[in-house]
Structure 1
Amino acid sequence: MKKADEFRKVLDVPISKLSIDGLVQEICLCPEYLKDIYQLTSDGKQTVSWRAIWVCEKLSEKHPDWFVPMREEIIQRLLDCKHDGSKRLLMSILYNIPVASPISIELLNYCFDHMLAPQESIGVQALSIRMAYKLCKNEPELLQELRLILENTEADFYSTGVKTTLRNILKKI
């Protein structure tokens, strides 16, 4: 049985953080399995795909360099993604890896469009704000634009998580 099939069986049933941590540990010990788990992020079954992205997100915290070659594909997947949990995890992977030079304008536009969008989850909004800052911090003109947007946001309409992120990023700017 191929490793991807083994991983799929594990991800196709209700799963806990402990199970995810076990998969992360296994892949850290055998990095060649990264391609197998990453392949499952495009699985036809939404729950398998989401759980595989969750594993990749945890891997990106430990080994962000593993995901640099996949950056453009992950950005494109984020732009096309409709699942809230997957969007948050894809954003988190992108946040964990170093910013490319030149920065991705598609990703920056996505962040600007989604950071204050009421239809987005709190996690996607907060990560979009943080990612926008990460992308803009070495570009003075873009940083000013971000600051103006955040300063002119009516924070009372947002959750505590988004308000906290707004406040923290404005302090950094």
Structure 2
Amino acid sequence: MMTICQLRKRLSERIHAADIAELCLMAQCTDGNGMKAMLFKLAGDKDRRVASNALWVFSHFNASGRSWLQNKQKELIDMALSVTDVTSLRLVLTLLERQTFEAESIRTDFLDFCLCRMVSDAEPVSIRSLSMKLAYKMCLHYPELLEELRMSVDLIDKTSADSAGLKSCRRNVLRLIDVTNR
């Protein structure tokens, strides 16, 4: 069993795909929750590399590991709202995008965050696209919010959908909204 200090030291260095696979295996097969809990604690570390590497490991979890993360949704949302590093934000949003959102547990602060980020030209395309997908997942339960989302997504078209990735995401979200409204 690895201690949190040993894990932090390992995550403070450059890691590769083989390291990610090994850490995922350790977290998902050995003691399970202890290793996952240490990784999660380190995902909020002050050291940018440690935090982003811990999040990177989480992004490679299998279905059972992702279900453990589903129970940490509130903490992941708090992390997304407070993180300043773009890489860590992208990874946290990726983890959240793989989760389900129940109607009764939608956080309006996070929905507002996603709506603002998806239309902001100052944000990288990855953050804008993930924010758009997450906004759809949260608005899905409420027809009036879906209509507000449609208007916001239409605004992207009028402002700066110059990136192929953003155009594709926009098209896909609009298609999902149309299917949902039928």
| TM-score normalised by the chain length of structure 1 | 0.91
1:171 to 167, 172, 175: 175
SS at 2:5 equivalent: helix
Tell me the residue number matched to 2:36: 34
Residue equivalent to 1:111: 114
Distance in 2 (alpha carbons) for counterparts of 1:156 and 1:145 = 17
Q: Secondary structure at the match of 2:120?
A: coil
SS state at 2:72 partner:
helix
Instruction: Write the mapping of 1:29-108 to structure 2, written as runs, cut at 5 A.
Output: 29-30=29-30, 31-32=32-33, 33-59=35-61, 63-102=65-104, 103-108=106-111
Give CA-to-partner distance per residue, 1:36-69, whole Å, 9 cap, x none: 1111112221111111111122227653221233
**Larger deviation, residues 157-166 vs 124-133:** 157-166
Q: CA RMSD in A?
A: 1.9
Which AA in structure 1 matches 2:70? V
**1:169 aligned partner, one-letter code:** V
Matched, 1:25 2:25: yes
| Consecutive unaligned residues in structure 2, runs of 5 or more | 178-182
- Give the counterpart of 2:165 among 145, 161, 165: 161
User: Mind listing any 5+ residue stretches in structure 1 that lack a counterpart?
Assistant: none
- Which whole-Å CA distance do the structure 1 matches of 2:63 and 2:111 have between them? 21
